[in-house]
Structures are given as structure tokens and as C-alpha cells.
Chains A and B, each alone.
Chain A
Amino acid sequence: MDSIFLQLVVDGLANGAIYAALALAIVLVHRATGMINFAQGAMAVMSTFLAWSMWQVGLPAPVAILVTIVISMVMGAAVERLVIRRFEQGSEHTAVIVTVGLLVLFTGLAGLFWGYTAVEFPSLFPLGTLNIAGAFVSYQSLGNIAVLLLVVLGLQLLFKKTKLGLALRAVADNPESSSLSGIPVGNLLMVGWGLAAALGALAGALIAPKVFLDPHMLDQVLVYALAAAILGGLNSPLGAVVAAMLIGVVENLAGHYITIIGDDLKIAVPLIAMFIILLVRPQGLFGQKEVVRV
């Protein structure tokens, strides 16, 4: 096999893992509240800066990241309780605008506290690369993919095997009806946002070593993640991951082999694909179509 091809695929998978991490957070929020959180990336950037600050004052990077994940969970829950709660019953239109407002605000806050100059973020994984059948993979990419797989596994277990997961699914399906079974819907929505923010923090910590950290670090990744979440059907964590990997690989191949696209325009590939798929299959590639027999 062509070694360039293999390298492109491997790099695409590594990028895809990054998009997937944020896409999972978006899927979590959507499952819990039916909203698409355009601020997911900006919240993750705040978290990543927080971890960076702790690392700067001398905490080991893994500890800083773990502490940040916990703090982010609380912050995510707080955002739901203090801001989102007000708009959950309203129109989807307003909900989107609220999260866009949060996107702008959190980007601004990150800039206020940490400035707009890019800083270096420590990697959790050793430097160096591995040669697999002629393609080079960095330990960092392998580590990212491994962490991602663990997260997917953890989420599947959470949703399928725990009472909390059952309640989260119930609330996502029908909040009013769930409350009649004694499920405190408000608390679970907070949990959903908290989990998503925690996941976002993890995503940020995985991405930052590759691209440097600044307030706009995740602007593009957010768009990839949104495209992946939508392609994956918005409700399926696994679907989002597969879609994200697919996006990573396809855009790399298209960028390299289709000269008119090139490296600069490859971002158009997933977006146009998303557009087309939304039109022909609004439930996404892997989403379930809502069939309700009466």
C-alpha cells in the first residue's frame, strides 16, 4: 500500500480523535437537554487554561488536568442551572442564541484572564513516534485515541448500566413524563451539562499540546465536532466518534488527492458532507429515526 496514503489515514484518525472528544460533549448535552451547545468549545478552552495555570504554579500536568475536570463539571452544572434553565422551555431558536452568547462570553473571559497570546500546554504522553507499517504515529496521537476509546466505553457503561444513565436517558426522551416517575429532571440536566463540561475539559487537554493554547484554540475544532455530532445523529456517542474519525480521514485524503481542495480548503469537505447528509438523512448517519406508533 502507498505509504503516503497510510500516513494520511493515520493522521486523519489522530485528528478525528480530537474532534470526537468535543463531539462527545456536544452529544451529551444534546441527549440531556435537546440543545446544541455552541459554547462547548469555549467552555473547554476556559477549562484548559485553568489546567495550564495550575501546571504553571507547579502542579504535575495529570493532576492539574484531573482537578480541572472536576471543577469543569461543577462549572458546567452551574451554567445549566444559572443560564440555560431559563431558556430550556423556550424556542430552540433562543436556545441556540443563548449558547452563542456563552461562546462569545467565555472566549472573552479566557482572553481577559489569560490573554490572546498562544501558550504551550504539556502533553500527557511521551514525545516520539512509532512506525506502524511505514506510517509514523506519535505517542501523543496513540494516547489520545486510547483515552477517547476509554471515554466512549465509560459513557456506554454509564448510559447502559447505571441508574444515573437510565435517568439521563429517560429525561432526554421525555422530561415531563420522567418527572412523574420521581426523577428530579432539573438535577439531571445539571448532571448532563456537568458531564459534558468535564468531557470538554478533557478534550481541551488532549488537543492543546498539538496546537498551542489560546482563546480561539477550539473555534475550528468546534465546527468539526458539531459536524461530527450531527453526522453521528446527535444522540449516539459511538456515532459521533465514528463520524469524527471519518471526517478526519476523509478531509485528509481529499485535501491531498484532490488538488483543487488542498490543505487550506479541506475543512469544507466535512461541512459540505454534513449539509448533504442533513438534507437526505436529517437523523444523521447513525441516528435512529423517530418512529412512534400510536
Chain B
Amino acid sequence: MNRTIFKRRWFRISVIAVLALAAVLAPLELVPYANYQLTMIAVMGVAILGVNIITGYTGQISLGQSAFLGLGAYVTAYGVTEGWPVPLVFLLAAVIPGAVGLLIALPAVRLKGASIAMVTISLPIIADPLAKRLTDITGGSAGITVQWMSAPEWTGLADDQWRYYIVGAIALVFFVLAWNLTRGRIGRAFAIVRDNEAVATSMGISSYKYKVLAFTIASAYGGVAGFLYLAAVQYMSPATLSFIVGINLLAAMIIGGSASIIGSLFGGVFYVFIPVVAGQIDPSHTPIVYGAALLLILFLAPGGVVTLPRVLRRLMGRRTGRQQQPGGGDDQATESSAGKVTS
């Protein structure tokens, strides 16, 4: 028993080391378009991580993350165009969507289940005409192009490589922050609020407070993703904050892994590569792959692709007659499911 755990940990550490090395070296070898795609995985991973914090970890469905991503991107575009210092722009790109999210959450999280889904789906639907209206800032339907975040001379890097490192580093920081958040006191509170609000109340945990907090953090993550998006793409238009994007972000989160940090990264991979894979046949096939993948995951491994190995192992175990506990996400620490009370 001990040996297998030791073996596994050793194995894991070396895998992570190899992956980290590959992540650092890859852009030096890959073509610009591949670097762009890897950068986009990081961008969308951060947006999806935000959805995960509010929906996966705290159990409040958000279909409106694209609105916060859009807001972050437009704030960034405005700041950069005005010539503000980039760190300030970054700060505003996180804080303004976070503040808007807070204002919406204060009343919205009082709603339950499908109602909060309805309210969040409204956000991109209102944001879209609003963005088209405010042409001075957004460039209207045509969108806005911003040329920035070019590689400094001294690095000797190409723009795509430089952007990859910058976006990757920021994304890494936000993944680590989320990791710490969800594994700490707040993360446990999120899980209790998600699993059973009555239990939360009996433990003196204010569901309301933690839902507002989760929504605010999720919105800020959306804003940061918007900043990163503009860094990677250099262009922003209302299409990026549409309600389809909001839905796809939720779908990618569930497919990657609900209540899982690494699952959000898988979600990003899915988000970026599915259109590519589907596009080899016909780009219009993307929604089918999305819908089918989402339903398949819900049927087979509701915890997302991160739980697939565990689900498979369980199926194998059942075949050989071994009983195993059904697994949740990969984050067992936050998976304190308050059991159903049967009277």
C-alpha cells in the first residue's frame, strides 16, 4: 500500500517536472500559431476556472462568464489605447469586472438554482447590445484592435513567444491562487454551501456571504481572462462576449472537471481544440461536439474528464468484484459531501 503511494507520488512529481519543462521550452520550438493556441488555453483556462469557482465549487450556475471576460477585455483595450501603465490596466481589468460582479451578486445570489442561471444568462444578452452601442470605447460591432504586449528587444523573443510567457505566467499565478483558495477555509465553506445550505447555516456559515464572495472572485477571474485574451488576440468584439460563449464556458468547465483546478485547464484545452478538431471536417460541427461531449460526460463521469481514470478503475473494479467508493472530483479535500438525510 505504502509502496504504491510512494511510487505514485514519485511518478507524479517527475511527470509534473517534465510537463513544466516542456511548457517552458515548447514555445521556442513551435510555430507561432501553435504558441497562440497554447496561449489561448491559458486564457480560457482562467475564464473557466472562474466559472468553476462559482459553479463547480460553490454550486451556483453561471452562464454569464463571457460578459465579465468581455468587460475585462474592453477595460484593457481602453487602458492600453489611452496609454496607461500596463500593471494599472491589469489591475483595473480584474477589479472593475470584480466590482460589477459584486454588485450583481449582492441581490442575485439570493435566487436559487434555475433562477440564478436565468439571471446570469441575461448578462451577455444585455452586454452584447451595450458593447455595440458604446462605439467610442469598444469599436462597436466591428470590434477594436489593439497592438500591444510586443516582445521587448532584450529578450530576443518573437511576439507570440513573449505573449505565451506573459499570459502563461499570469495564468499560473491565478491557478495557484485558486488552488490555495479552494483548499483552505474558504474552499471548505464553498463546498458546504454547495452541498447543503442547511448544514452551512447550522455551522454558522453564511451561505449568502460565501456565494457573493465566490461570484465576485469568478467575475474577477473573468476580467483577468479578458486582459489575457486581449494580450493573446490583440482584438476584441461583441462576438466574444456572446451568450453562446457564456454557455460554452460552462460546458467546458463541466467537461473538464467540476470542482477541479486541473479540470479547468482541461476545460481550456477542450475549449481551444474542439473547434480545431471539429473544424477539420466542418467548423459548424463545433456545437454538436460540445453538446454531445457535455451530455456524455454528465452520463458517464459527472465529475468531468479528470475523473475518467477513477470511473474506469471503478468499472474495472466492479467487474473483478472489488468494491470501491465512487469518486468525486480530484480535489478530495473539498469534496466533503454532506450525506443525504433519510428519515
B284 to A112, Cβ gap below 8 A?
yes
Known contacts A105-B291, A108-B290, A230-B115, A265 near B129 by CB under 8 Å: yes
Assess whether A97 is interfacial by the CB under 8 Å rule: yes
Q: Collect the chain A residues with CB atoms within 8 Å of residue B285's CB.
A: 108, 111-112
Known contacts A36-B118, A220-B125, A93 near B111 by CB under 8 Å: no
Interface size class of A (residues with CB under 8 A): 35 or more
| Shortest Cβ distance from B286 into A: residue | A108
A265 to B288, Cβ gap below 8 A?
no
A275 to B284, Cβ gap below 8 A?
no
Question: What CA separation (Å) do A265 and B126 show in the bound complex?
Answer: 7
B61 to A93, Cβ gap below 8 A?
yes
Question: What CA separation (Å) do A54 and B288 show in the bound complex?
Answer: 23
| Shortest Cβ distance from A101 into B: residue | B294
B114 to A100, Cβ gap below 8 A?
no
Q: Collect the chain A residues with CB atoms within 8 Å of residue B121's CB.
A: 38, 223, 226
Interface size class of B (residues with CB under 8 A): 35 or more
Dominant SS among interface residues on chain A? helix
| Shortest Cβ distance from B297 into A: residue | A101
Interface 9-mer from A13-21, A149-157, A182-190, A266-274: A266-274
Assess whether B267 is interfacial by the CB under 8 Å rule: no
Question: What CA separation (Å) do A175 and B16 show in the bound complex?
Answer: 50
A111 to B125, Cβ gap below 8 A?
no
Q: Collect the chain B residues with CB atoms within 8 Å of residue A211's CB.
A: none
> B114-127 vs A: 1/0 string, CB under 8 Å?
11011101100110
Assess whether A98 is interfacial by the CB under 8 Å rule: yes
Assess whether A243 is interfacial by the CB under 8 Å rule: no
Assess whether A87 is interfacial by the CB under 8 Å rule: yes
Assess whether B309 is interfacial by the CB under 8 Å rule: no
From the candidates B112, B113, B254, B295, name the one contacting A83 in the complex (CB within 8 A). Answer: B295
From the candidates B113, B247, B284, name the one contacting A100 in the complex (CB within 8 A). Answer: B247
Find residues 281-318 in chain B having any chain A CB closer than 8 Å to their own CB: 284-292, 294-295, 298-299, 302
CB distance from B193 to the nearest CB of A (A): 12
From the candidates A107, A112, A274, name the one contacting B122 in the complex (CB within 8 A). Answer: A274
Question: What CA separation (Å) do A57 and B247 show in the bound complex?
Answer: 35
CB distance from A106 to the nearest CB of B (A): 7
Assess whether B262 is interfacial by the CB under 8 Å rule: no
Q: Collect the chain B residues with CB atoms within 8 Å of residue A107's CB.
A: 287, 291
Assess whether B132 is interfacial by the CB under 8 Å rule: yes
Q: Collect the chain A residues with CB atoms within 8 Å of residue B288's CB.
A: 105, 108-109, 111-112
Question: What CA separation (Å) do A262 and B130 show in the bound complex?
Answer: 11
| Shortest Cβ distance from A280 into B: residue | B107
Known contacts A100-B251, A104-B247, A264-B132, A38 near B291 by CB under 8 Å: no
A38 to B251, Cβ gap below 8 A?
no
Question: What CA separation (Å) do A274 and B122 show in the bound complex?
Answer: 10
| Shortest Cβ distance from B292 into A: residue | A105
From the candidates B55, B122, B291, name the one contacting A101 in the complex (CB within 8 A). Answer: B291
CB distance from B236 to the nearest CB of A (A): 19
Q: Collect the chain B residues with CB atoms within 8 Å of residue A267's CB.
A: 125-126, 129
Known contacts A83-B295, A265-B126, A115 near B247 by CB under 8 Å: no
Known contacts A100-B247, A108-B287, A108-B290, A92 near B110 by CB under 8 Å: no
From the candidates A94, A115, A264, name the one contacting B298 in the complex (CB within 8 A). Answer: A94
A230 to B118, Cβ gap below 8 A?
yes
Q: Collect the chain A residues with CB atoms within 8 Å of residue B112's CB.
A: 92
| Shortest Cβ distance from B123 into A: residue | A271
CB distance from A79 to the nearest CB of B (A): 11
CB distance from A108 to the nearest CB of B (A): 3
Known contacts A93-B61, A100-B63, A111-B287, A105 near B295 by CB under 8 Å: yes
Question: What CA separation (Å) do A83 and B292 show in the bound complex?
Answer: 12
B284 to A268, Cβ gap below 8 A?
no
Question: What CA separation (Å) do A158 and B326 show in the bound complex?
Answer: 44
| Shortest Cβ distance from B114 into A: residue | A36
| Shortest Cβ distance from A100 into B: residue | B247
Question: What CA separation (Å) do A111 and B286 show in the bound complex?
Answer: 10
Assess whether B250 is interfacial by the CB under 8 Å rule: yes
Question: What CA separation (Å) do A38 and B302 show in the bound complex?
Answer: 19
Question: What CA separation (Å) do A94 and B113 show in the bound complex?
Answer: 9
Find residues 142-177 in chain B having any chain A CB closer than 8 Å to their own CB: none
Assess whether B334 is interfacial by the CB under 8 Å rule: no
Assess whether A279 is interfacial by the CB under 8 Å rule: yes
Q: Collect the chain A residues with CB atoms within 8 Å of residue B286's CB.
A: 108
A115 to B284, Cβ gap below 8 A?
yes
Q: Collect the chain A residues with CB atoms within 8 Å of residue B294's CB.
A: 97, 100-101, 104-105
Assess whether B210 is interfacial by the CB under 8 Å rule: no
CB distance from B151 to the nearest CB of A (A): 38
CB distance from A206 to the nearest CB of B (A): 22
A271 to B254, Cβ gap below 8 A?
no
Find residues 75-106 in chain A having any chain B CB closer than 8 Å to their own CB: 83, 86-87, 92-98, 100-106
Assess whether A45 is interfacial by the CB under 8 Å rule: no
- List 24 A-B pairs, Cβ < 8 Å: A92-B114, A93-B59, A98-B298, A100-B294, A101-B251, A101-B294, A101-B298, A103-B291, A104-B251, A104-B290, A104-B294, A105-B288, A105-B292, A108-B290, A108-B291, A112-B284, A112-B288, A220-B125, A264-B132, A267-B126, A271-B125, A275-B108, A275-B122, A282-B115
What are the 8 tightest A-B residue pairs by CB atom distance, in nearest-first order? Answer: A105-B291, A108-B287, A108-B288, A92-B113, A104-B291, A101-B294, A271-B122, A36-B114
* Interface residues, chain B, with chain A CB atoms under 8 Å away: 55, 59, 61, 63, 107-108, 110-115, 117-119, 121-122, 125-126, 129-130, 132-133, 243-244, 247-248, 250-251, 254, 284-292, 294-295, 298-299, 302
